[in-house]
Structure 1
Amino acid sequence: MDAPDSALWQAYGHAARWLASLSDRRVPARASVEETVRALGAELPDEPSRPADVVDLLATACEPGLTAFPGGRFYGFVIGGTEPAALAADWLVSAWDQNCVMRAVTPAYTAVEEIASAWLLDLLGLPGGSTVGFTTGATMSNFTCLATARDTVLRRAGWNTARDGLTGGPAVRVIVGEGRHTSIDLALRYLGLGEPELVAADDQGRIDPVALRHALAAGRGSPTVVVLQAGDIHSGAFDPFAETIRAARDADAWVHIDGAFGLWAAASPAHAHLTSGGADADSWATDAHKTLNVPYDCGLAIVRDPLAVRAAMGVQGDYLIQHEHGDPSDKVPELSRRGRAFTVWAALRSLGRSGVAGLVERLCRHASAFAAGIAGTEGATILNEVVFTQVCAEFGSDARTDRVLDRLLEDGTAWISGSTWHGRRVMRISVSNWSTTDDDVSRALDAIRRAADAA
């Protein structure tokens, strides 16, 4: 067998070549699932293989089937890329192989998590005493915050969920705007809370404060959670936080903000007004992989009351070495988990305060450039107010919009996906990657024009 470092060096070589290819490679994958299976080989070998050979086979067989998500010309989903310091830190996370559960066992991780948490609260303008849990992504961040909300509003109503479960307890109302992201519905389903109560939103997806007040008044006295949004998935719009949170406070409701990508607007002086009033909520969810651009598997669940999240998420066991000040595992659903805060610390330490602000502002500038370029394309219409990183456009009819999208993917210069918004087929552009350049945007716009001409 090879020494372990031979496989690592092999992986490094393939990784370096992959990263170097991103500026020029076709964005969509070139190989299908079936082609990749054939290249890998479907039969499990009887005998061991050299680790370096395994890495080489994996890299060479899979490379044609990879989509250039980390490159500057992928705009299909709000997923971001990986900032260099965070990528390197993630390699260390795998090599260090720490199960980051207990303060006493992983002091280095706990120290990094505490520092990164304080930096995050500062950058996002959130209350300094809040607790930050590092989850798998925004869906589990919403889950964590909403689990804490559920247990807290039921406790106020005299019901102990941890002891008695949900059966027989008061019904919890969860009120959301019509434009909320489907991950909220998913988290509520996981939590046994069923479908949310919908409140009208405007044409950009912003919840209507007057409609919210009416909904709250109709169920006054019931345990209630209000879910607001920082960054609509289509328009990028932000709910009016000051007015809606005031209405929720008057009804003694818990307020949660789903800010999967939009919460980072607070880190930019030019865009912080979009989150004005949001710091008065009770909990916030975001995803560091999106706007901050750290590797996958790094959501952030932020709760104002540390004791509330600890009551909802904390775990005890005779074999666990628990600390009086709490442990990383007290804030998230999992026990076994990787050191997510290492990558967040690395990204923040690398970028600094001005670098994070510059990243947010650059993404927004590129989105505005996309909107201006598409608006000048014959037959195209921009459908949203471009306030953050999202752009939605249509090309005269649903059928033509879909043809443009098909031609665009065939071209391969950029990946931009379609969606349905307000009953219309749209081209939805999400600018999320730190590495996107002015040239990347220009090349993507040229590809859009070619696709429109061909459609």
Structure 2
Amino acid sequence: MSTATDERGLLAEADRRALSYFDGIATRPVFPSQEAIARLDAFNGPVPEQGVAAHEVLRRLDEIGSPATVASNGPRYFGFVIGATLPAAAAAERMVLAWDQCASSFDNSPVADKLERIAGRWVKELLGLPPNSAVGFGTSATACTLACLSAARRALLARKGWNFDEDGLAGAPLVRVVISATCHITVKKALRILGFGTKQLIVAPTDPQGRVDPRQLPELDDMCILCLQAGEVNTGEFDPFAELIPQAKAADAWVHIDGAFGLWARASSSAHLAAGVELADSWTTDGHKWLNTPYDGAMAICRDATALAGAMNSDAVYATASRDAQKNLNLEFSRRARGIPIWAALSTLGRDGLREMIDRHIRQAGHLAARLREAGFQVLNRAVLNQVLVRADSDEQTLAIRLAAQNSGQVWFGPTVWQDRPAFRLSISSWRTTDADIERLIELLIELKRQTTR
């Protein structure tokens, strides 16, 4: 822009268009129409020879792009554990964007350094995790899992006198990894990136609800990483940490918890579901799922702060920082202050508000499951958390109901496979979702079942 006035005018227009989009969230189709999707072809074309005016770029982004968005920021999106964005978190994100800080260390942004330290402390308190643990704010549970498992492997090798940083993996002592039979794909992805081939992974058998069976836990030793789950992606169930982790600790194994959304149960009245999770060595969780913060907000939490800082250190001669600077706790060197929207969300919710939101979603999931059972659906899980796993009378009817619901524009949820058969998964995680939205979902599913019953 040529002048400050032009820049302010452009930002004001962006605010106006964003607020207009915001005002229509509750009434827009939850999934865009085929017409709206087809219009995205208007963005196709070569790189402009001459730059387009910024106001025109913004207009096209809104008028062509906005109709093709998924209303995951609304109350009737049940497809994945994707919470809407809390107002305070959205506002904080706008402020962070205006600041335009490289939040790698205190020197680059004192305010980011301070607020992310506070956010990390609050998260540990709310989740009941060891207070001296390191907290790195990363883009996703995938990236944060990569950081935690890197720290785990490096620490296990150090026990055998192996310097991973200098000697790498060639000739290194073998580190074994034990995963759940229902392990989330992002954990497998992180392990694959780290060089653990899928054929090398040891699979722990699970019970019918997807929980690792303590009686069938593979043998562990001091060169093992055991990956457990807080919130299985289909059933929402928790591995029995109070039984499994002491077994692992007796063998001196490292225990990592994938708690992308389920770890937040620790801040609710259902904290007992994750009893014993605090005994682990590392944890990952997202803010952009059940905490309802903007995307790109997740946490790598490690009991041994030195282990995480050693594995992730990125000090350079021109950019040194404290051991616990954010650039030394996660993958990114240049990074945005992802912890500030998390701080803002927790500031406005408080301990009571966070508990109420999670409790409400768990209650809504239980009600949804009960009503669908009454209507003749097969509810395949216990619905102890915010996930309801559903199947109709046949695989064909399950598919037909899901597609009809998606095409209705009233709600959106996606497919899954459970025990080798199709199902669909209903996830409740948006702060905007009211009891009336749940009733609307129930009524729609019952009507679609009636229409597809032969």
Aligned 8 A contact 2:112 2:337 in 1: yes
Question: How many Å separate the matches in 2 of 1:51 and 1:40?
Answer: 15
Q: Which amino acid aligns with 2:364?
A: H
Q: Does 1:238 align with 2:238?
A: yes
Could you tell me how far 1:243 is from its partner in structure 2?
A: 0.9
Equivalent position amino acid for 2:380 in 1 = L
Distance in 2 (CA, whole Å) between partners of 1:322 and 1:419 is 45
Equivalent residue number for residue 313 of structure 1: 312
Task: Tell me, in whole angstroms, the C-alpha distance in 1 between the residues paired with 2:240 and 2:136.
Answer: 26
C-alpha distance after superposition, 1:400-433 (max 9, x if no partner): 1001111111111100111101112112111111
User: 1:179-198 counterparts in 2 under 5 A?
Assistant: 179-195=182-198, 196-198=201-203
2:325 aligns with one of 324, 327, 333: 327
1:56, CA displacement in angstroms? 1.4
2:321 alignment partner, SS class: coil
Contact 2:292 2:430 in 1 (8 A): yes
Deviations 1:295-323 (A, max 9, x none): 00011000001100011001121111423
Tell me if the contact between 2:260 and 2:284 (Cα under 8 Å) persists in the aligned partners. Answer: yes
Q: Choose the corresponding residue for 1:167, options 162, 165, 170.
A: 170
Matched, 1:99 2:102: yes
Q: Distance in 1 between matches of 2:401 and 2:251?
A: 48
* Structure 2 unaligned blocks of 5 or more: none
1:425 counterpart residue number? 422
| Whole-angstrom CA distance in 2 between matches of 1:424 and 1:240 | 26
SS in 1 for 2:219: helix
1:444 equivalenced with 2:436 (yes/no): no
Q: What is the SS of the residue equivalent to 1:132?
A: strand
Paired letter, 1:208: D
Which of 138, 151, 154 is 2:154 aligned to?
151
Two-structure CA RMSD over aligned residues (Å)? 1.4
C-alpha distance in structure 2 between counterparts of 1:164 and 1:392, whole Å: 47
Cα 1:376–1:338 shift into 2, 3 Å: same
Q: Which residue of 2 aligns with 1:216?
A: 219
- Work out whether residues 104 and 321 of structure 1, in 8 Å CA contact, stay in contact via their aligned partners in 2: no
Which of 89, 92, 110 aligns to 1:89? It is: 92
| Aligned-partner Cα distance in 1 for 2:324–2:423 | 47
The 1-side partners of 2:173 and 2:39 are apart by: 52
Q: Secondary structure at the match of 2:208?
A: coil
Could you tell me whether the CA contact under 8 Å between 2:181 and 2:205 is conserved in 1? yes
Q: Which residue of 2 aligns with 1:252?
A: 252
Q: Please say if 1:48 is aligned against 2:47.
A: no
* Counterpart for residue 410 of structure 1: 407
2:338 paired residue among 333, 340, 350: 340
Give the TM-score normalised by the residue count of structure 1: 0.95
User: What is the TM-score when the length of structure 2 is the normalising length?
Assistant: 0.96
How is 1:283-432 mapped onto 2 (pairs within 5 angstroms)? 283-323=282-322, 326-378=324-376, 380-432=377-429
Say which SS state the counterpart of residue 216 (structure 1) adopts.
coil
Label 1:326 to 1:133 Cα distance change in 2 as closer, same or farther (>3 A): closer
What is the identity percentage for the equivalent residue pairs of Structure 1 and Structure 2? 38
Separation (CA, whole Å) in 2 of partners of 1:240 and 1:308: 26
Distance 1:99 1:186 in 2: 28
SS at match of 2:178: strand
* Structure 1 residue 387, shift from structure 2 partner: 0.6
Displacement, 1:45? 2.6
Which shifted more, 363-372 or 1-10?
1-10
CA deviations over 1:322-366 (Å, ceiling 9, x no partner): 23x541111001111111011011000011110111111111111
Query: What residue ranges of structure 1 are gaps of 5+ in the alignment?
Result: none
Residues 41 and 189 of structure 1, relative CA distance in 2, 3 Å threshold? closer
The one-letter amino acid of 2:432's match is: S
| Contact 2:134–2:324 (CA under 8 A) maintained in structure 1 | no
Per-residue deviation at 1:34? 6.2
Residue 158 of structure 1 deviates from its aligned partner by 2.0
Separation in 1, partners of 2:236, 2:37: 37
CA–CA separation in structure 2 for the residues paired with 1:234 and 1:282: 25
CA distance in 1, matches of 2:60, 2:203: 50
Deviation at 1:47, TM superposition (A): 2.3
Alignment of 1:191-206 (within 5 A): 191-195=194-198, 196-206=201-211
For these two proteins, the number of residue pairs brought into alignment is 447
Cα pair 2:36 2:67 within 8 Å, conserved: no
- Given that 2:37 and 2:68 are in contact with CA atoms closer than 8 Å, whether structure 1 keeps it comes out as no
Shift of 1:32: 6.0
Give, in angstroms, the shift of residue 442 of structure 1.
1.1
Distance 1:189 1:38 in 2: 36
Q: For 1:130-179, what per-residue CA distance to the aligned partner results, in whole angstroms no more than 9, with x for missing partners?
A: 11000101111111111111111111122111111111111211101111
Deviations 1:362-386 (A, max 9, x none): 11111112112211223x1111011
